[in-house]
């Protein structure tokens, strides 16, 4: 999966960090490329460079960045752009952004270059805690850019985006009740400053997709109502339908921790992906999933097979960055899909991403679990496929119906143990040649009703001295049995 505005590694407004500042990196597809840079903030040079820079700046993308293998590619890329800002080489910065915007350029892993350019410039230095002095120097350089290039849409949006990030820096990463009065005051003031800059930028002739992304950050921080936020989102899509960050930001806006109700983000993901349709709809679904991946309850409402399809299609079209692979592996861990996780881990090797895993210990534990569980999960999937194939034959369909009828008495005895958990669920069972239950797999997590069924079936054979099921078409026969606890509860 991928990310957009704030760190779409957390896609636009990092959903991983509850109440975190909005300028997080876009994890998955919005990857850029990088070059080495100085870690020490250079002194402010009061003289903007006005040298013609097209021969240098427009060749910036030719620098050799390795997002498919280098997990630190974004930090290097952002550092290279930050160096240009420190040097106040505004000609080069405009050239780079104008080129990315006009070409609708993407990185080799599918992310928009334009978004990553802005993300590289939205705070003093990536990966380093900034002091007030750092922020003042950074904002001063951006303001000089605006003064030197008053018609530059890039300069104004970069300044607004930095003020939005500066606002979230004042607010902090905690819950609302942990924010001080002064923190709230600075938060509001800086967001209003960002909005004012965006309002002025809207008067320029050049239009930029990222303008809407930053305004979506402002909308979230200022607590816009859902109708206003939706209108902003629709206007953004009308300008550039394939700028994934819009969708990620809107999905984040609809999370329960902000303005939505449980399930709103998942419904938004499905609706917008369906509207796009086809493989591109699946890719968009993946991008949105990347945004809300850290919100476990909301992420679980998404369709894991569709996320996988989107991720696979993204790889076919562009290839995967090492950052995307890390994110997808974590998604697979959340979904308890050892096969998908193990496949991703094999491609990741030791290139673990700190933004994704937080600690190397967690990465290694997850990797070991996937490696250990993948073979048994592969076997289970093979058995499920065998059971599915058996029930698709006329003989198998008749036998399945007979087995479901044999399950009915046990279900009647166990239905009341289901409590509120009355979903339909499947058993994939193996029946021996003489009609005994040899093995069982289920998509239903261990629960009273499943435990009750296994106990009742076993005890029936002991008590009646008879096999609970008729002989199958052949030995070691696997088949699928669908059961609905709610139907038996109603009947009782």
CA angle 74, 107, 292 (to 5 degrees): 70
More confident residue, 103 or 66: 103
Mean pLDDT over 15-21 rounds to: 32
Residue 125 parent element (H or E)? none
Q: Is 216 helix (H, G, I), strand (E, B) or coil?
A: helix
Q: Are 146 and 170 in contact (CB under 8 A)?
A: no
- What pLDDT shows up at residue 301? 95
pLDDT band at 42 (very low <50, low <70, confident <90, very high): very low
The pLDDT of 110-135, averaged and rounded, is: 92
Structure confidence at residue 443 as a pLDDT band (50, 70, 90): low
Whether the predicted pLDDT of 40 surpasses 70: no
Residue 365 structure tokens: 């534990």
- Contacts (Cβ under 8 Å, ≥6 apart) of 393: none
pLDDT band at 11 (very low <50, low <70, confident <90, very high): very low
Give me the DSSP letters along 11-76: TTTTSSSTT--S---E-SS---------SSPPPPPSS---S--HHHHTTGGGS---TTT-TTHHHH
Is residue 246 predicted with pLDDT exceeding 60? yes
DSSP state of 205: S
* Residues 282/311, Cβ–Cβ less than 8 Å: no
Other CB atoms within a 10 A radius of the CB of residue 82 amount to 22
Pair 201, 157: CB distance under 8 Å: yes
Average pLDDT over residues 118-137: 92
Asked if the model's pLDDT at residue 296 lies above 90, the reply is no
CB 79 within 8 A of CB 37: yes
Q: Which of residues 14 and 474 earns the better pLDDT score?
A: 474
Tell me the pLDDT band of 488, cut-offs 50, 70 and 90: low
Give the separation between CA 12 and CA 23, rounded to whole angstroms.
Answer: 8
Give the pLDDT band (50/70/90) at residue 201.
very high
The arithmetic mean of pLDDT across residues 220-244, rounded, is 96
pLDDT tens-digit map of 364-383: 999 999 999 999 999 999 99
Whole-angstrom Cα distance, residue 124 to residue 42?
11
Here the tokens at position 110 are: 């599918």
Whole-number pLDDT of residue 46: 41
Is the pLDDT score of 404 beyond 60? yes
Q: Between 465 and 25, where is the model more confident?
A: 465
The pLDDT value given to residue 88? 95
**Of 200-209, 432-441, 471-480, which has the strongest mean pLDDT?**
200-209
Q: Provide, rounded to the nearest whole percent, the portion of the chain with pLDDT above 90.
A: 65
Residue 36 pLDDT greater than 50, yes or no: no
List alpha helices for 302-393, DSSP H.
Answer: 304-317, 322-334, 338-348, 354-357, 360-391
Residues 6+ apart with CB under 8 A from 116: 26, 30, 31, 32, 74, 77, 78, 107
First vs last Cα of the chain: how many Å apart? 46
Q: Read off the tokens for 338.
A: 């050892």
pLDDT mean over 341-358: 96
Pairwise CA distance, residues 91 & 98, whole Å:
10
Three-state secondary structure readout of 149-171: CCCCHHHHHHHHHHHHHHHHHHH
CA separation for the pair 9, 17 (Å, rounded): 11
For 470, other C-beta atoms within 10 Å of its C-beta total 12
Q: What's residue 209's pLDDT?
A: 98
So what's the pLDDT on residue 408? Answer: 86
In the predicted model, is pLDDT for residue 486 greater than 90?
A: no
pLDDT digits (tens, 9 = 90+) for 173-196: 777 888 999 999 999 999 999 999
pLDDT grade for 483, boundaries at 50, 70 and 90:
confident
Length of the chain measured in residues: 492
> Residue 54 pLDDT > 80, yes or no?
no
- Helix 209-222 and helix 153-171: axis angle, to 10°? 20
More confident residue, 149 or 485: 149
Residues 71 and 357: beta-carbon distance below 8 Å:
no
Closest Cα partner for 98 from 207, 3, 5?
Answer: 207
Residue 407 has a pLDDT of 86
Q: What is the DSSP letter of 112?
A: B
Q: What is the pLDDT of residue 172?
A: 84
Q: What is the pLDDT of residue 48?
A: 41
- b/e map 211-232, b = 16+ CB within 10 Å: bbbbbbbbbbbeebeeeebeeb
Range 158-180 burial, b when 16+ CB lie within 10 A, else e:
bbbbbbbbbbbbbbeeeeeeebe
């Amino acid at each position: 999966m991928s990310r957009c505005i704030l760190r779409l590694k957390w896609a636009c407004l990092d959903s991983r960090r509850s109440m975190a500042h909005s300028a997080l990196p876009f994890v998955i597809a919005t990857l850029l490329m990088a070059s080495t840079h100085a870690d020490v903030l250079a002194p402010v040079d009061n003289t903007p460079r006005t040298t013609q820079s097209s021969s240098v700046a427009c060749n910036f993308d030719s620098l050799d960045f390795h997002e498919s293998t280098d997990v630190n590619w974004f930090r290097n890329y952002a550092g290279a752009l930050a160096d240009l800002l420190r040097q106040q080489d505004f000609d080069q910065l405009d050239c780079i952004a104008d080129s990315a915007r006009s070409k609708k350029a993407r990185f080799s892993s599918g992310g928009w270059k334009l978004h990553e350019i802005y993300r590289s410039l939205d705070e003093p230095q990536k990966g380093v805690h900034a002091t007030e002095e750092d922020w003042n120097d950074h904002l001063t350089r951006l303001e000089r850019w605006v003064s030197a290039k008053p018609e530059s849409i890039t300069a104004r949006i970069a300044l607004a985006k930095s003020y939005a990030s500066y606002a979230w820096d004042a607010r902090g990463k905690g819950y609302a009740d942990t924010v001080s009065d002064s923190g709230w005051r600075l938060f509001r003031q800086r967001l209003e400053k960002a909005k004012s800059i965006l309002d002025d930028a809207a008067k320029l002739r050049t239009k930029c997709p990222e303008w809407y992304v930053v305004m979506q950050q402002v909308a979230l921080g200022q607590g816009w109502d859902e109708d206003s936020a939706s209108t902003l989102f629709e206007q953004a899509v009308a300008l550039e339908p394939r700028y994934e960050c819009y969708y990620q930001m809107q999905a984040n806006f609809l999370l329960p921790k902000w303005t939505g109700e449980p399930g709103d983000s998942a419904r938004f993901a499905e609706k917008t992906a369906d509207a796009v349709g086809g493989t591109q709809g699946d890719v968009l679904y993946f991008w949105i999933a990347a945004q809300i991946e850290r919100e476990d309850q909301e992420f679980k409402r998404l369709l894991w097979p569709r996320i996988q399809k989107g991720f696979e299609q993204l790889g076919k079209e562009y290839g995967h960055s090492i950052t995307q692979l890390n994110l997808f592996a974590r998604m697979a861990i959340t979904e308890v899909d050892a096969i998908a996780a193990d496949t991703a881990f094999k491609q990741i090797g030791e290139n673990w991403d700190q933004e994704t895993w937080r600690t190397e210990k967690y990465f290694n534990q997850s990797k070991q679990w996937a490696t250990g569980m993948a073979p048994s999960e592969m076997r289970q999937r093979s058995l499920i496929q065998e059971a599915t194939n058996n029930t698709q034959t006329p003989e198998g369909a008749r036998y399945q119906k007979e087995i479901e009828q044999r399950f009915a008495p046990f279900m009647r005895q166990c239905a009341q143990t289901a409590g509120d958990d009355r979903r339909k669920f499947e058993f994939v069972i193996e029946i021996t040649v003489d009609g005994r239950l040899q093995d069982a797999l289920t998509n239903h997590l261990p629960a009273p009703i499943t435990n009750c069924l296994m106990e009742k079936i076993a005890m029936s054979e002991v008590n009646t001295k008879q096999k609970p099921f008729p002989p199958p078409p052949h030995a070691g026969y696997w088949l699928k049995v669908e059961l609905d606890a709610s139907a038996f509860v109603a009947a009782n």
